[in-house]
């Protein structure tokens, strides 16, 4: 197949122009008004006629070759009424802004989970509000701006099943009289997690790893997507990943908070670090599908029981009805706090294991009165 046919099969070039001559020795700049639209799962082959020599290689090197979904030159508002050229690179979970010079340098980047609001000001300009900064971006075409909006929404829909959990995506109509298209996670254009493998656990886990600057463990994704899925196993067993560091386990547990597949979290004879314990609490506070929690001999103390009681009170839609906290020194104070919430489970309490938790007869008698 001729080279140009291979190129057209990988991406579509919009409003292309050839790159300008270098302004300095050893310095190259990009051509104007260009946007590449890349099918998901493909990595672009770089068109030498459009990109300055070595720029494509430089981008791939600095980004460590993640799948690239869009590469486009944009106008970034750096000061009031002052716009500067940047290159926007859209990957699965992150947006990068780079300068135009070689070697390519990332000036800033943010994960989709950092986005607090995405406001479409007009047909080709969007305002992105993140945790740390706000970016006003003007795109060469409305198609490229719309792709960024749809990609962010789709990525968030893979992580969160509920529209209340995602960032607010607003579509202004100052210059576009058409009625904004619904791109909420419940719309037909969105991606649902319900029918994905194990409730989209691997996607959520990968997004959280990127958000926290941690490497995504492929063996975790493989175990869940292959073994758990093939066995139709709804019980997530932390012992399957006990060889990993505490930070990795914390991200695994965090990925369960909005998961609709797993209904049980199991851990026995494995001491949980503070990071993991905090994510267990977070999952208990957010999950509407976790029915059973087993933390047997996990090194938990009274303060965990107090916090667990607190987060359960903040989750009126919890599906939890079975709880095992045996062999953890919760003491009477922990039992006292938990007992208030155990009686308020929407589905009732079907199982409670509190053996060898340093609870005294006095503490039990006090609660029975």
- Identify the helix (H) or strand (E) that includes residue 14: strand 12-14
Model pLDDT, residue 344: 84
Predicted confidence (pLDDT) per residue in 190-236, tens digit? 444 445 899 999 999 999 999 999 999 999 999 999 999 999 999 99
Determine the Cα–Cα distance for residues 133 and 127; give it in Å rounded to an integer: 11
pLDDT band at 61 (very low <50, low <70, confident <90, very high): confident
Once rounded to an integer, what is the mean pLDDT over residues 328-333? 94
pLDDT band at 100 (very low <50, low <70, confident <90, very high): confident
- Identify the helix (H) or strand (E) that includes residue 251: helix 246-254
Q: Is the pTM of this model over 0.75?
A: yes
Q: Is the CB of residue 313 less than 8 Å from the CB of residue 343? A: no
Model pLDDT, residue 46: 40
Domain ranges of the chain: 3-171, 197-368
Percent pLDDT > 70 in the chain is 73
Predicted confidence (pLDDT) per residue in 232-250, tens digit? 999 999 999 999 999 999 9
SS (H, E, C) 161-210: CCHHHCCEEEECCCCCCCCCCCCCCCCCCCCCCCCCHHHHHHHHHHHHHH
Query: What is the CATH topology of the domain spanning 3-171?
Result: PH-domain like (2.30.29)
Number of alpha carbons in the 13 Å side-chain half-sphere of residue 11: 23
Mean pLDDT lowest among 27-36, 96-105, 315-324: 27-36
Eight-state DSSP code of residue 119: E
pLDDT of 10 higher than 60? no
pLDDT band at 341 (very low <50, low <70, confident <90, very high): confident
Number of alpha carbons in the 13 Å side-chain half-sphere of residue 304: 23
Mean pLDDT lowest among 56-65, 83-92, 162-171, 192-201: 162-171
Between helix 274-286 and helix 246-254 the angle, nearest 10°, is: 0
Of 167, 246, 239, 187, nearest to 214 (Cα)? Answer: 246
Average per-residue pLDDT in the chain?
A: 79
Q: Is the CB of residue 298 less than 8 Å from the CB of residue 324? A: no
Which one has a higher pLDDT value, 179 or 156? 156
| Cβ atoms < 10 Å from Cβ of 314 | 10
Burial classification of residue 267, based on how many CB atoms lie within 10 Å of its CB (0-12 exposed, 13-18 middle, 19 or more buried): buried
Model pLDDT, residue 57: 74
Mark 229-239 as b/e (b = at least 16 C-beta within 10 Å): eeeeeeebbbe
- Beta-carbon contacts of 193 under 8 Å, excluding residues fewer than 6 positions away, are 157, 158, 159, 160, 161, 199, 200, 203, 204, 259, 260
pLDDT band at 15 (very low <50, low <70, confident <90, very high): very low
CATH class of segment(s) 197-368: alpha beta
pLDDT band at 25 (very low <50, low <70, confident <90, very high): very low
Q: Is the CB of residue 72 less than 8 Å from the CB of residue 144? A: yes
pLDDT of 17 higher than 90? no
Helix (H, G, I), strand (E, B) or coil at 306: helix
For residue 354, what are the CA distances in angstroms to 138, 239, 295?
59, 21, 10
Once rounded to an integer, what is the mean pLDDT over residues 169-193? 38
């Amino acid at each position: 197949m001729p080279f140009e046919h291979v190129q057209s099969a990988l991406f579509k070039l919009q409003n292309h122009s050839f790159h300008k001559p270098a302004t300095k020795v050893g310095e190259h700049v990009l051509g104007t008004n260009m946007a590449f639209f890349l099918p998901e799962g493909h990595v672009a082959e770089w068109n030498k006629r459009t990109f300055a020599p070595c720029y494509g290689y430089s981008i791939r090197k600095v980004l460590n070759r993640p799948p690239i979904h869009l590469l486009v030159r944009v106008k970034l508002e750096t000061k009031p009424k002052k716009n500067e050229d940047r290159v926007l690179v859209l990957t699965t979970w992150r947006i990068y802004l780079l300068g135009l010079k070689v070697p390519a340098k990332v000036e800033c980047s943010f994960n989709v989970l950092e986005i607090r609001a995405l406001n479409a000001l007009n047909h080709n300009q969007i305002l992105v509000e993140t945790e740390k900064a706000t970016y006003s971006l003007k795109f060469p075409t409305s198609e490229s701006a719309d792709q960024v909006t749809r990609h962010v929404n789709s990525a968030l829909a893979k992580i969160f099943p509920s529209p209340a959990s995602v960032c607010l995506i607003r579509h202004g109509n100052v210059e576009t009289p058409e009625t904004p298209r619904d791109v909420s996670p419940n719309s037909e254009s969105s991606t649902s997690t319900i029918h994905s493998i194990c409730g989209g656990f691997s996607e959520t886990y990968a997004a959280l790893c990127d958000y926290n600057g941690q490497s995504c463990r492929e063996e975790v994704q493989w175990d869940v997507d292959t073994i758990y899925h093939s066995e139709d196993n709804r019980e997530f067993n932390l012992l399957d990943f006990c060889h990993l560091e505490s930070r990795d386990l914390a991200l695994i547990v965090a990925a369960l908070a909005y998961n609709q597949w797993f209904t049980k979290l199991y851990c026995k004879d494995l001491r949980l670090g503070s990071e993991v314990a905090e994510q267990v609490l977070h999952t208990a506070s957010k999950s509407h599908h976790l029915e059973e929690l087993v933390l047997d001999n996990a090194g938990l103390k009274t303060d965990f029981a107090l916090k667990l009681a607190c987060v359960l009170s903040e989750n009126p839609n919890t599906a939890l009805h079975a709880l095992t906290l045996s062999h953890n020194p919760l003491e009477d104070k922990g039992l006292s706090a938990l007992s208030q919430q155990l009686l308020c489970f929407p589905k009732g309490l079907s199982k409670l294991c509190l053996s060898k938790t340093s609870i005294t007869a006095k503490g039990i008698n006090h609660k029975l009165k």
